[in-house]
Amino acid sequence: MKKLFLLATLSGSVISLPAQNTKLDLRVDAGNIIHQMKGGLGASWHALIKDIPLDNEKYDYPVRHINPRGSAYAGNPPLGDTATWGQLYQHAKWLGLDFVRVELSQHMYEPGRNIFDWKNDEMQALYRILDWCEANHADVFLQQMWGHVAWNAHPGVHPLLSAPKSVDDFANGIATLLKYLTETKKYTCIKYFCMTNEPPGGPWGYWWSGGSHTPATITDAWKKLQETFTKQGIKIPLSGPDWVSLPPCEPAKIDFDQYLGAFDIHSYFGLYNKNNGEQVIGDWVKYARTKNKPFFLTEFGNMDLGWGADNQGPKTFKAALSNASDVALCMNLGVDGFNRWSFTNRGDMDGQWQLVKTYDLPTKTYSKEVTTENEAYYGFAMLSRFMGKYASVLSVKMDPQPEGIVATAYKNSDGQLSILMVNNRKEAVTVNVTVDNGSKKQAFYFYEVTETLLKGDNFQLNPVKNYKDEGKLKNMLLQPESISIVTTNVLNNGDLGVIE
């Protein structure tokens, strides 16, 4: 007989059961907090907006010819179109983005050694994003993607690819940026800083090459940056290593942990029930806890469902199911924060990763109206919209534990309780929920999304069923291939998402 398996609790226990089971009991202990997140849930939002000439013929070590920056640029409305930016802001509020990875390059602010430009268009785009985060109390994970400065590149190496020739200049430039953003611009929303995107060290790495020269190591750079921050009184913790994709946690390789205040990695091939994801993430969480530091998944998605050019895979409901399953699994394991790739995206470079559509692919022009990519947008909303930052993850026990069902539960700082349930199976599942140590008379509201629902006209995310109190959470039907949430936090479609 075919056996089915599921991880549903932090303990990692696995139970096998007959395949025909379609009923389960879910027990949530509202009084047993297994982890309080140090971040939250959001999406990458890049400030880079310009196409660049590659000029590869100039270099002995050129960058790859096709999208050497991935899709980490463009996608935002033109700066002059403040009305469309306002629409974008409203979508960020509606989604409740509370932990936002904001991306930039050194070329944006320091195009020449000790020559700083705070007024160019890309810096203005950065301020637009940080202004929204500041006003809405969203935490920012500020990410320098690469240097892209010829003045600090190794000879013969493309500036986009090169590691810094001088780590002193590299660190001083970053410190000057952060002093400007926090002291001159008065931003308080920046909570973490990472100095480079996806460097060598994981299964794949790029953007840190010395060509024929031996570059400074990542450890050299982290050390110098931490020393510079300390000297200049910058309190923002550094995060790293930012390796990709789903790198194993190998403490012997992590000789830079003393310089970091947090750890982060990327995952792009799914985690739930594949790629040894549970083990790898669990190892990183355990390691981070031994250092008393948070651990973040700062880029995630599932390229197994398609990517590249204008591939629609990343915006499909199957991708939303995969993302929801990964977030639920990782919350139970103790991950502190998540950033989906990405909030805005042109959609014609390495796949259609966008949650909202700002760019018209047929005409290659920016739109005056920001519209939703329904399957991606509402699938992600089930994760982000009800959960505020620093949520407390609760003990969840599932009996039995059928393959394809994953659940997590959390409380926000105001005590609102939510239970996220993802059904990856092709048949419906009936769930009876018991909440221990909760408020006996508190009402719950049930929301669900499926591919069929989201392909319909004029979908709105309103509760489809109300429960008078927690004692009534019986015989809840999880539709096939669905994302469901039952919560005390009633949000109608016209309400904004939760950030705090």
Identify the weakest region by mean pLDDT among 120-134, 251-265, 467-481. Answer: 467-481
User: At residue 153, does pLDDT exceed 90?
Assistant: yes
Contact 20, 409 (CB under 8 A): no
Mean pLDDT, the chain, integer? 95
Among 33, 9, 37, residue whose Cα is nearest residue 437: 33
Q: What distance in Å separates the CA atoms of residue 478 and residue 483, rounded to the nearest whole number? A: 8
Q: What is the pTM of this model?
A: 0.95
pLDDT at 325: 99
List own/partner pairs for 308-314 with CB under 8 A and 24 or more apart.
Answer: 308/350, 308/351, 309/348, 309/349, 309/350, 309/351, 310/347, 310/348, 310/351, 310/352, 310/361, 311/351, 311/352, 312/351, 312/352, 313/351, 313/352, 314/341, 314/351, 314/352, 314/353, 314/376
Characterize the bridge pairing of strands 262-267 and 465-467: unpaired
Residues β-bridged to residue 261: none
User: At residue 438, does pLDDT exceed 60?
Assistant: yes
Contact 78, 176 (CB under 8 A): no
Q: For residue range 366-424, what is the model confidence (pLDDT) as tens digits?
A: 999 999 999 999 999 999 999 999 999 999 999 999 999 999 999 999 999 999 999 99
Q: What distance in Å separates the CA atoms of residue 255 and residue 252, rounded to the nearest whole number? A: 7
Q: Which residue has the higher pLDDT, 449 or 12?
A: 449
DSSP state of 152: G
pLDDT at 457: 85
Q: Give the total residue count for the chain.
A: 500
Query: Counting Cβ atoms within 10 Å, is residue 274 exposed (0-12), middle (13-18) or buried (19+)?
Result: middle
Radius of gyration of the chain, Cα coordinates, nearest whole angstrom: 22
Model confidence at 6, in pLDDT bands (50, 70, 90)? very low
- Strands, E assignment, 301-436: 337-340, 356-360, 365-372, 392-399, 405-411, 417-423, 429-436
CA atoms within 13 A on the CB side of 334: 23
Mean pLDDT of the region 86-103: 99
pLDDT at 20: 54
Backbone angles phi, psi at 43, to 5 degrees: -145, 155
Q: 333-358 burial string, b = 16+ CB within 10 Å, else e?
A: bbbbbbbbbbbbbbbbbbbbbbbbbb
SS3 186: coil
Q: For residue range 451-497, what is the model confidence (pLDDT) as tens digits?
A: 999 998 899 999 999 999 888 899 999 999 999 999 999 999 999 99
Mean pLDDT of the region 169-182: 99
Q: Which residue has the tokens 């599942």?
A: 429
Tokens (6 digits) for 128: 């637009």
Contact 451, 322 (CB under 8 A): no
Question: Residue 485: CB partners within 8 Å, gap ≥ 6?
Answer: 382, 386, 418, 419, 420, 421, 446, 447, 448
Q: Which residue has the tokens 């050194």?
A: 106
Q: What distance in Å separates the CA atoms of residue 87 and residue 94, rounded to the nearest whole number? A: 11
Model confidence at 211, in pLDDT bands (50, 70, 90)? very high
Go through the domains of the chain in sequence order and give each one's CATH number: 3-37+391-487 (2.60.40.1180), 41-384 (3.20.20.80)
Q: 382-409 burial string, b = 16+ CB within 10 Å, else e?
A: bbbbbbbbbbbbbbbbbebbbbbbbbbb
Task: Please name the residue ranges forming H helices in 369-477.
Answer: 374-384, 451-455
Q: What distance in Å separates the CA atoms of residue 478 and residue 485, rounded to the nearest whole number? A: 10
Q: What percent of the chain has pLDDT over 70?
A: 96
Q: For residue range 21-70, what is the model confidence (pLDDT) as tens digits?
A: 589 999 999 999 999 999 999 999 999 999 999 999 999 999 999 999 99
Q: What distance in Å separates the CA atoms of residue 299 and residue 338, rounded to the nearest whole number? A: 7
